[in-house]
Structure 1
Amino acid sequence: MSDVKPRAARRGGRWIEEWDPEDEHFWRTTGESVARRNLLYSVLSEHIGFSIWSFWSVLVLFMGDEYGIDPAGKFFLVSTATLVGAVVRVPYTFAVARFGGRNWTVVSASMLLLPTVAAWIVMEPGTSYTTFLLVAVLTGVGGGNFASSMTNINAFFPLRKKGWALGLNAGGGNIGVPVVQLVGLLVIATAGDGSPRVLLAVYTPLIVVAAALAWRYMDNLAPVTNDTGAARESVRDAHTWIMSFLYIGTFGSFIGYSFAFGLVLQNQFDRTPLQAASITFIGPLLGSLVRPFGGHWADRFGGARITLFTFLGMAAATGVVIMASRAESLAVFLVGFIALFVLSGVGNGSTYKMIPGIYQAKARALGLRGEEAAAYGRRLSGAAIGLIGAVGALGGLGINLAFRQSFLATGSGVNAFVSFLAFYGLCSVVTWAVYLRGARRAASVGGGATVAGGRPSEVPAYTGV
């Protein structure tokens, strides 16, 4: 392992050549104000990115019978955007180190104009389904903003603040989903469900503003270098894939349910577009607002504990949804479904807090201390975050495809929910077996264990995990 060294001074850009947030004096006198400023504009850009990524969860509400697309076709449009958003997270993660966090935020925000303008052009009856699919592919770029934003903000904050910072960054971005759904509701309520271009007109200037503010106020961190060795090491590390699996259960659920909620209400409970739009924003909004609390509670009580309680709660809420679906009780269904959003938001915050904690614990197990351990943790967690975020987002694809198949086969989403219940049970078992049982065993023998080269459960008893 080699320390990450700052590159040579750059000209013509906002580059910070030295950055050590673990140094308390540096953090108190200089680092915190800079980090908070970058966090603010990162949240804004990521927020708009999430709104664009989730466009199709709203645009399908404008697509009446005259569009000639059945429910399965609409679920597939949503799934396409989800898939692309997951895949592009991998290159977006490494773009931060290649181009700089501020520079890439400007580029990635500007790219959101592509799907917005394309949707403006094609969003009308008579457009081919293939054309709609291509535009759904373009909207996937909004999903990549999350990975680059999280990787960037992860480098700005000290380990003791990462749960709060990453939770706030992600939560502020996630709110882009309910916000675009609220805007869609307002458009449908005022201009009617035949006016999707009004929604698109709202977001075009916001994209330009987000890119301009990032250009003016954000910074690049020179010490964050493009480390392909870290990427290879994180791919080989079992924890990367275990956390990816768990993140499928938290974020995959959040984004999958966010995209599918309106369609489920329309097709399972015969809600009109306006009736569906008046409800769909509630779950994503609450799930986004609680995400920082998930990170904060993970800072305080341990990410694995909060994550385990989250999955157990999601399993219980899914059971409520299944019973309500079979009883055709919309009120009980909404209670259970919105609980799923809230719990997934808490789990999003706690799982992301676990990632840097795991690699910090691994650094200590390797005998590293101080800044050397912190640099190692930042190096691997920065690489792992993008990969975990990409795989986790694929959970949203799985949820929408499961709904599509369930509605095709039975006209109901019950079968899909049964499969989700089994998955949350498995996530609970994995969380306990890998990160809680092993931590207790380590604590009983003095709080240390060998992570590198050892079993995945051999994580030191550390509150960040």
Structure 2
Amino acid sequence: MKGRRSSWIARWDPEDGEFWEREGARVARRNLVFSILSEHIGFSVWTLWSVMVLFMGPEYGIDPAGKFFLVSMATLVGAVVRVPYTFAVARFGGRNWTIVAASMLLLPTVAAFVVMEPGTSYATFMVCALLTGVGGGNFASSMTNINSFFPLRKKGWALGLNAGGGNIGVPVMQLVALAVIGASGGPRVLLGIYIPLVVVSAVCAALFMDNIAAVKNDTGAAREALRDPHTWIMSLLYVGTFGSFIGYSFAFGLVLQTQFGRTPLEAAQITFLGPLLGSLIRPVGGRLADRYGGARITLWNFVGMAAATGVVVLASVRESLALFTGAFVVLFVLSGLGNGSTYKMIPGIFHAKAVRAGLTGEEAARYGRRLSGASMGLIGAVGALGGLGINLAFRQSFQTAGTGTGAFVAFLVCYAACFAATWAVYLRRPAAPAAASAPTAGSEPQRVYAEV
């Protein structure tokens, strides 16, 4: 790997203001741009089956429950592979792993191109859906990589842009599918568009991205992150925000078809709107968290998500498509906003822990990067499992009651739990002074981090 010396950066210190202004900002921005491209294509491929099922009419012989299960399996694999993808960045280098991860997207796209026709067995479709899960792993490696490039004061905006640019791959895939369906094209036309884009993203990563030599896997940090209660609390909050975003993105079109009798074209004309707005607003959530504190933004965001879900339940009971669609789109927007604010909290929490333990300057920043990098993969994986839960909840609700109302009531309870956890852990008391004595191991879970 060291044959290409220009791709390896020996010294990287973004917290050094002079270094950042002289060369760090330029390099970080370049890597951010092509990281977004790779993650964008990864998200598009991950959500491939959310639009493939729209092409699958009665001739495919698959009922709505079977379609929900297909997209659920893609979500499951995407969540699980996020953990090894996180550690792959330090093992192989951010640039090198981005090349590999982007190239692996050829597996699900080419496989679907070959088998996508009536008469193919459900088991074969299931294997193809499982393969698309590798696209979900790109998020974890991309976020871990970009987290190393930017100083703490800019992480919220940078991580929000990176994640938002990736998330927007969901509505872009749905918009392209809408164009293909509207032109009476088949699923192979859609796949024929994306296969070359996969190749482009891999080539761009090879030409324009860098590896940071100082980024190494730290098994001690991984074990420490696993034991830290904040890792699991943030996982719960990310289930509520990102789990909602990806779960609804996969399910929205199917819900419109199944509950409101929309045709594939009618569903596709609406499906993209929520994921598009939710993706665009994610960087805003990060920027607001930078300014006002991620915990505060996250808390009130869950209030909004609960209120929007209540309206969705009402619209579902009344069978009002207009009210249902409007409230669902608002729910998408709030999930995107919360994605940005919750992810900004992660590096802030671990940096605050370092300061409260008496560390200062680069030592505190290094501790924050070390623990936040180790925890991000796990938090991202658990958060993506929320999307699996959403699709399985819809499947069960439609199987038992023929409507998604019961699933939405369950989601409302989840948002209430996330609100309670955010308030109890991070906002229940004023933030402790920076000069406070170091916390004991037993008292740390009770500390608050209002400014993170």
TM-score normalised according to structure 1 size: 0.95
Residues 1:450 and 2:429 are matched in the alignment? no
Aligned counterparts of 1:39 and 1:155: Cα–Cα separation in 2: 11
Q: CA deviation at 1:113?
A: 0.3
Q: CA deviation at 1:449?
A: 6.3
Aligned counterparts of 2:234 and 2:151: Cα–Cα separation in 1: 21
Match of 2:81 among 70, 88, 99: 88
Q: Deviations over 1:124-174 (max 9, x none)?
A: 000000000000110000000000000000000000000000000000000
Residues 1:287 and 2:278 are matched in the alignment? yes
Aligned counterparts of 1:408 and 1:310: Cα–Cα separation in 2: 31
Aligned counterparts of 1:228 and 1:106: Cα–Cα separation in 2: 24
Equivalences for residues 154-193 of structure 1 within 5 A: 154-192=147-185
Residues 1:31 and 2:16 are matched in the alignment? no
Q: CA deviation at 1:366?
A: 1.5
Which secondary structure state, in structure 2, belongs to the residue aligned with residue 456 of structure 1? helix
Aligned counterparts of 1:85 and 1:430: Cα–Cα separation in 2: 26
| 2:95 alignment partner in structure 1 | 102
Aligned counterparts of 1:460 and 1:260: Cα–Cα separation in 2: 35
Equivalences for residues 394-405 of structure 1 within 5 A: 394-405=385-396
Residues 1:357 and 2:348 are matched in the alignment? yes
Q: CA deviation at 1:10?
A: 3.5
Q: Deviations over 1:388-429 (max 9, x none)?
A: 000000000000000000000010000000000011011001
Aligned counterparts of 1:216 and 1:50: Cα–Cα separation in 2: 21
Aligned counterparts of 1:363 and 1:449: Cα–Cα separation in 2: 9
Which secondary structure state, in structure 2, belongs to the residue aligned with residue 290 of structure 1? helix
Preserved contact between residue 80 and residue 381 of structure 2 (Cα < 8 Å) = yes
Residues 1:323 and 2:314 are matched in the alignment? yes
Preserved contact between residue 451 and residue 459 of structure 1 (Cα < 8 Å) = no
Residues 1:407 and 2:392 are matched in the alignment? no
| 1:269 alignment partner in structure 2 | 260
Equivalences for residues 381-400 of structure 1 within 5 A: 381-400=372-391
Q: CA deviation at 1:226?
A: 1.1
Match of 2:4 among 9, 12, 15: 12
Preserved contact between residue 254 and residue 345 of structure 1 (Cα < 8 Å) = yes
Preserved contact between residue 157 and residue 286 of structure 2 (Cα < 8 Å) = yes
When residues 213 and 337 of structure 1 are mapped into structure 2, their CA distance, relative to the original with a 3 A threshold, is same
- Which segment is superposed worse, 97-106 or 429-438? 429-438
Residues 1:205 and 2:196 are matched in the alignment? yes
What is the letter of the counterpart of residue 254 of structure 2?
L
When residues 343 and 21 of structure 1 are mapped into structure 2, their CA distance, relative to the original with a 3 A threshold, is same
When residues 258 and 119 of structure 1 are mapped into structure 2, their CA distance, relative to the original with a 3 A threshold, is same
Match of 1:375 among 366, 377, 396: 366
When residues 274 and 174 of structure 1 are mapped into structure 2, their CA distance, relative to the original with a 3 A threshold, is same
| 1:428 alignment partner in structure 2 | 419
Aligned counterparts of 1:379 and 1:449: Cα–Cα separation in 2: 19
Which secondary structure state, in structure 2, belongs to the residue aligned with residue 423 of structure 1? helix
Aligned counterparts of 2:110 and 2:85: Cα–Cα separation in 1: 22
List gaps (5 residues or longer) in structure 1: 1-8
Aligned counterparts of 2:174 and 2:14: Cα–Cα separation in 1: 37
| 1:218 alignment partner in structure 2 | 209
Q: Deviations over 1:167-224 (max 9, x none)?
A: 00000000000000000000000024xx100000000110110000100000000110
When residues 271 and 219 of structure 1 are mapped into structure 2, their CA distance, relative to the original with a 3 A threshold, is same
Aligned counterparts of 1:246 and 1:302: Cα–Cα separation in 2: 15
When residues 291 and 199 of structure 1 are mapped into structure 2, their CA distance, relative to the original with a 3 A threshold, is same
When residues 23 and 302 of structure 1 are mapped into structure 2, their CA distance, relative to the original with a 3 A threshold, is same
Q: CA deviation at 1:452?
A: 4.6
What is the letter of the counterpart of residue 402 of structure 2?
G
Q: CA deviation at 1:450?
A: 2.1
Identity of aligned residues (%): 73
Preserved contact between residue 113 and residue 204 of structure 1 (Cα < 8 Å) = yes
| 1:232 alignment partner in structure 2 | 223
Q: CA deviation at 1:446?
A: 6.9
Which secondary structure state, in structure 1, belongs to the residue aligned with residue 432 of structure 2? helix
Q: Root-mean-square deviation (CA), in Å?
A: 1.3
Q: Deviations over 1:86-130 (max 9, x none)?
A: 000000000000000000000000000000000001100000000
Q: Deviations over 1:236-287 (max 9, x none)?
A: 1000000001000000000000000000000000000000000000000000
What is the letter of the counterpart of residue 383 of structure 1?
A
Aligned counterparts of 1:69 and 1:456: Cα–Cα separation in 2: 48
| 1:41 alignment partner in structure 2 | 34
List gaps (5 residues or longer) in structure 2: none
- Which segment is superposed worse, 79-88 or 220-229? 220-229
Aligned counterparts of 1:44 and 1:252: Cα–Cα separation in 2: 22
Aligned counterparts of 2:157 and 2:372: Cα–Cα separation in 1: 16
When residues 452 and 363 of structure 1 are mapped into structure 2, their CA distance, relative to the original with a 3 A threshold, is farther
Aligned length: 451
Which secondary structure state, in structure 2, belongs to the residue aligned with residue 86 of structure 1? helix
Residues 1:419 and 2:421 are matched in the alignment? no
Preserved contact between residue 356 and residue 435 of structure 2 (Cα < 8 Å) = no
Aligned counterparts of 1:448 and 1:112: Cα–Cα separation in 2: 49
| 1:4 alignment partner in structure 2 | none
| 1:437 alignment partner in structure 2 | 428
Q: CA deviation at 1:456?
A: 1.8
Which secondary structure state, in structure 2, belongs to the residue aligned with residue 275 of structure 1? helix
Q: CA deviation at 1:460?
A: 4.8
Preserved contact between residue 362 and residue 451 of structure 1 (Cα < 8 Å) = no
Preserved contact between residue 294 and residue 345 of structure 1 (Cα < 8 Å) = yes
Aligned counterparts of 2:431 and 2:253: Cα–Cα separation in 1: 45
Aligned counterparts of 1:371 and 1:287: Cα–Cα separation in 2: 35
Aligned counterparts of 1:148 and 1:78: Cα–Cα separation in 2: 22
When residues 451 and 86 of structure 1 are mapped into structure 2, their CA distance, relative to the original with a 3 A threshold, is farther
Aligned counterparts of 1:133 and 1:313: Cα–Cα separation in 2: 36
Aligned counterparts of 2:264 and 2:436: Cα–Cα separation in 1: 55
What is the letter of the counterpart of residue 267 of structure 1?
T
Q: CA deviation at 1:453?
A: 4.2
Which secondary structure state, in structure 2, belongs to the residue aligned with residue 442 of structure 1? coil
Aligned counterparts of 2:444 and 2:369: Cα–Cα separation in 1: 22
